[in-house]
Amino acid sequence: MHMNKILLIIQREYITRVLKKSFWISSLLAPILITAIYAIPIWLAMKDKEVKRVEILDLSGLWKKNDLVDKELEFVFTLGKEQELKMAFASKGFDAFVTIPEDVLTNPKGVHIYSAKNIGMSLKESVEKLIQNKVRQELLLKAGISSQIYESTQVDIDSETITVSTDGKETSSSSGGAMILAGIMGFVLYFTLLLYGSQVMNGVIEEKSSRIIEVIISSVKPYQLLLGKIIGVGLVGLTQFLLWIVLTIGLTQITGKFYGEKVKNNLTQIKKIDSGKKSTLSSKSEEESPMSEVTKVLESTNIPMIIAAFLFYFFVGYMLYSSLFAAIGSAVESATEAQQFTFIVMIPIILSFFLAQYTIQDPDSNIAFWASMIPFTSPINMMVRLPYGVPVWELILSMTLLVLGFLGCSWVSARIYRVGILMYGKKVTWKELGKWLFYKG
């Protein structure tokens, strides 16, 4: 009979929230945003680049055709007077006109770029880079360093990070990718703990201020109402995660189909970079593909374990915090009155988030270890550490401590709650809340 009533409460809390428009808006918006973040760089990378035509007047005579090679720029050498040419290049169909002075090696500032419209930063940078490379080469040559030596100094470092566990097992890891994954999970946890915790608090305040609470608790025990509410709202959170995951995967698949072959090529290219053994591709294209890092980390981590741990840390962490939020909601009569108490619950959440900034930099430090053990900070910090790899005993200890922390907090909260929901017209103080803990029946 009691179970049935809790189920009824869970059902009501769940359905009334899931039917709200705001739930669907946030459920749809987030995947669209994520897809956009994923798709726009690919789209930009794949978009047929418009080749800009640049007319160049090289008075120094140092540049040859194959010194000026760029995917996006086509250079045409010209002769004549700068004064006349700078008036005429646009009508000849050039996007820009570049002059290099005769004494460019001693006067590198003498290079001018003319353009009809405001030229983009990338054009300016590309041109400058090409000119600068040549100038540097020439200056080194003058100083007696051959162009072969110069070429041989152009090395590209692309290190591969490998995690060596104590039993000597090596896993190729990508600290950059792990950092991205850790950052995303840490932020989502931070955000959802606050969001759903305060939803529970507002639900409690609504029941108290609308006075329906007395009718409800003449049918069920306060702890049943509290438990039903927390579980119901928590399930709303899980539903939202599920929608986010399914919709994000679905949308990225659709975008993938939309790009068709191009994406495939692009992805194989990304994979090639991933293999990490070749550095023939320019460093620029690597910087352009953060998705390759994510792809890499997704391949090297145990996804089902991460998802299971994430759901565990969300749900238990959420239960811990929302029970405290509920206790605050029960003690006050309006949301504004609640503000004086909510900071005490928000401080550990915000602190977790700040600690996570350290944890993400140095996941095996002492701070990271303790932050991922202490129940209040462990949900966010353990999830941030997990993509880097965490010993199993630490994970189990952290989970156990979190469950114990939850039991402790819910005991305190339930005692405050059962007194608070019936207390009206009394200015509640911390001392008062302390007294409630020890009230009988």
Q: Of 88, 49, 89, 86, which is closest to residue 70 (Cα–Cα)?
A: 49
Angstrom distances, CA of residue 38 to CA of 251, 256, 263: 10, 10, 12
User: Is residue 12 part of the contact set for another protein (CB under 8 A)?
Assistant: yes
Q: Looking at 2-10, 116-124, 148-156, 351-359, which segment touches another protein (CB under 8 A)?
A: 2-10
Closest CB to another protein among residues 2, 117: 2
Site residue total, another protein (CB under 8 A):
26
CB of 438 to another protein, least distance (A): 9
**Across-strand partners of 55?**
76, 97
The answer to whether the beta carbons of residues 394 and 308 sit under 8 Å apart is no
28 contacts another protein (rule: CB under 8 A): no
Position among 5, 53, 86, 262 found at the interface with another protein (CB under 8 A) = 5
Structure tokens at 37: 């973040």
CB of 210 to another protein, least distance (A): 4
Q: At closest approach, how far in Å is the CB of 206 from another protein? A: 8
Residue of 9, 419, 416, 31 whose CA lies nearest to 233: 9
CB atoms within 10 A of CB 427: 7
For the bound state, the minimum distance from the C-beta of residue 209 to another protein, rounded and expressed in Å, comes to 8
Cα–Cα dist 104/8, whole Å: 82
Of 234, 425, 217, 387, nearest to 321 by C-alpha is: 234
- Beta-carbon contacts of 14 under 8 Å, excluding residues fewer than 6 positions away, are 232, 233, 235, 236, 239
Binding-site string for another protein from residue 213 to residue 232, where x marks contact by CB under 8 A and - marks none: -xxxxxxxx-----------
What is the closest distance, in whole angstroms, from the C-beta atom of residue 18 to another protein in the complex? Answer: 13
The DSSP H or E segment spanning 22 is: helix 21-46
Q: 197: Cβ–Cβ under 8 A, 6 or more apart, which residues?
A: 318, 321, 322, 324, 325, 345, 349
To another protein, the closest distance from the beta carbon of 332 in angstroms equals 16
Closer to another protein by Cβ: residue 20 or 278: 20
Q: Which stretch binds another protein (CB under 8 A): 183-191, 204-212, 304-312, 340-348?
A: 204-212
Residue 56 pairs with which residues in a beta bridge?
A: 77, 98
If the CB atoms of residues 329 and 387 are measured against another protein, the closer one turns out to be 329
Segment lying near another protein (by CB under 8 A), choices 3-11, 102-110, 280-288, 313-321 = 3-11
Least distance to another protein from the beta carbon of 218, Å?
A: 4
Q: Give whichever of 117 and 211 is closer to another protein, judged by the CB atom.
A: 211
Q: Among residues 152, 210, 280, 336, which is the contact residue for another protein, using CB under 8 A?
A: 210
153 binds another protein (CB under 8 A): no
Cα distance between residue 96 and residue 130, in whole Å: 15
Residue 115: both structure tokens together: 């353009």
Smallest distance from another protein to CB 211, Å = 3
Nearest distance from residue 416's CB to another protein, in Å? 15
In the bound state with another protein, the residue whose beta carbon lies nearer, of 386 and 433, is: 433
Residue 53 in contact with another protein, rule: CB under 8 A: no
Nearer residue to another protein within complex by CB, 430 or 439: 439
Q: Of 211, 284, 427, 431, which lies in the binding site for another protein, with binding defined by CB under 8 A?
A: 211
Binding of residue 22 to another protein (CB under 8 A): no
- From residue 216, give the alpha-carbon distance in Å to each of 4, 172, 205, 212: 14, 56, 14, 6
Contacts (CB under 8 A) with another protein, residues 383-422: 422
* Separation in Å, CA 286 to CA 36, 282, 378: 20, 7, 34
- Token look-up 């850790």 returns 182
Complex with another protein: residue 18 or 217, whichever CB lies closer: 217
Intra-chain end-to-end CA distance of the chain, in Å: 22
- Which position among 212, 242, 245, 344 is part of the footprint of another protein (CB under 8 A)? 212
By residue count, the chain amounts to 441
Query: Residue 206, interface with another protein (CB under 8 A)?
Result: yes
From residue 183, give the alpha-carbon distance in Å to each of 180, 195, 240, 384: 5, 18, 19, 6
Using the rule CB under 8 A, is 441 a contact of another protein? yes
Q: Does 354 bind another protein (CB under 8 A)?
A: no
State the residues that interact with another protein by CB under 8 A. 1-2, 5, 8-9, 12, 16, 206-207, 210-212, 214-221, 422, 424, 435, 439-441
